[in-house]
Amino acid sequence: MNLTYHEAILFNSNVGGGSYDIWLYQPFTGRTMKLTQNLGAEFSIPYWSPDAQSFTFIGKNNMVFVFNLNSRKWAQIDQIEPYTLLSWSPDSQYLAYVKSNRIVIYNIYAHTSGSIVQYGVTDVQWFPSGEAFLFAAPDEAGNTQLFKINRDGMNKQQITKNTEGPLHNVRISPNGEFALYTSPGASISLITTVNLSTGVSYQLQGGPQAKNYFPEWSPDSSTIAYSATDIVNNQYVSLIQTDSRVGGQQKTWAVSTCFSTPLSWSPDGKRLAYLSGCSNQEQADEIWVIDLNSPNNPIKIVEAKWITSLQWSPQVHDVEPYKLFLNQIYRVSFYYPQNWRKVTEERFEGSDGFFQISAISSEEEIHSVCRAEAFHVLQPYGTNPRIFPALVQAQEACFIFPSEDQPVEMRNQAALIVKYPSPVVIQGSTYSYFILWADQDHLISLVKTLTFI
């Protein structure tokens, strides 16, 4: 079952008074489902990957978890401070976050990481190009500024000239042209936007109490939604407001019964989701949605104690289900599922399969080469693999399929060995055979598009 929705809302809740966990709500069906089991914490905030295949959050014991919606499997990748911003790379392959004065860049498929040392860094996030980061950090005078730096740690540039104190909730716009932040603190919280190419800033009017929280960019980067605290009949409420990125177009759309509430834009930018149902300043137990085209009728979509955060799924653009893999060294190309990610130049993996390529240097005939691979001393295909002779691209070939006692860690690995049309030289050695390993559910479909180049 594929759970990558064009529209879904993730939220953090301890429904029934148990542990906090991440839940999913489907607007089209009205269904909610619990995705994690005893992994969340009260401070957990889910962050969708751009391809809507996965999400990440900081949960129990301050651990960073990544959850794949297709496989329903999760990975635990690091331990960091609660409320640290988690930022996905545009290709959904890397996470960036701050830990111990470092920008950490973590590959969720290879489970490897690198880091950039940056004293006092906060709120790191990717530019849409995937080649640079935006972050906040103190300058030499101790004032917090916005900076841009390449993903290799080079070419650091200061963007702002702030002298007004700390910056919080830094968020880059989806198109990478603007950023926003709140300042100076919690009791007074004003929203400022910055043109990242010019450094020009704009302060938004905000609500009547100057308590503006949880600002969020619209998908088209034109508008900011936020929660503005006010007092009505001696009770704190939260006004659901929007303004243009340069101010001057403030609108109030709805009222939440909470002191403040996180908000989230629908993928099409036409609706806003927010929390409500706070009584006596307790936590929220409702999710509401307001349609900006018919704002007089906000709709309650979820009721569950307690809810602390929410995020609507991102805009996912329809793409071809397959991508072209082309390797000049091994002289091959073929198509693979587009949601698989590169682990190395020779290996790609997804939640539902993998492939890896290599070459074999041998003067033996094809049947001998195939038997040597199939009955390797380590038994990667089990004790009784099956070998099937074949022709691939008019070349002698064979398929190797595993027996039922194949080790589980081999992930259902099967193989194709095919003779090159002419031997290939790699790093000074000559190779006569190409080998493709893949899970047996995908091997045939990969081979059908195999071409020697």
Tokens of 92: 């959904």
DSSP 39-92: ---TT---EE-TTSSEEEEE-GGGEEEEEETTT--EEEEEE--TT---EE-TTS
The answer to whether the beta carbons of residues 95 and 85 sit under 8 Å apart is no
Mean pLDDT per 10-residue segment, the chain (453 residues): 62 87 87 92 96 93 92 90 96 93 90 92 95 95 95 94 91 96 90 95 94 97 97 91 96 95 95 91 88 89 92 75 89 91 94 95 96 96 94 92 93 96 95 96 88 87
Q: Is 425 helix (H, G, I), strand (E, B) or coil?
A: strand
- HSE toward the beta carbon, residue 228, CA cutoff 13 A: 21
Terminal C-alpha separation, the chain: 36
Domains, the chain, ordered by start: 9-312 (2.120.10.30), 322-452 (3.40.1000)
Classified as helix, coil or strand, 416 is strand
Question: What is the rounded distance in angstroms from the CA atom of residue 19 to the CA atom of residue 60?
Answer: 9
- Non-local (6+) Cβ contacts of 195 within 8 A are 177, 178, 201
pLDDT of residue 205: 95
Is 177 buried (19+), middle (13-18) or exposed (0-12) by CB count in 10 A? middle
Classify the C-alpha dihedral 329-335-336-339 as positive or negative. Answer: positive
DSSP 209-239: TSBEEEEEE-TTSSEEEEEEEEEETTEEEEE
Phi, psi dihedrals of residue 290, rounded to the nearest 5° = -115, 130
Half-sphere exposure of 395 (CA within 13 A, CB side): 22
pLDDT score recorded for residue 318: 52
pLDDT of residue 4: 41
State if pTM tops 0.75. no
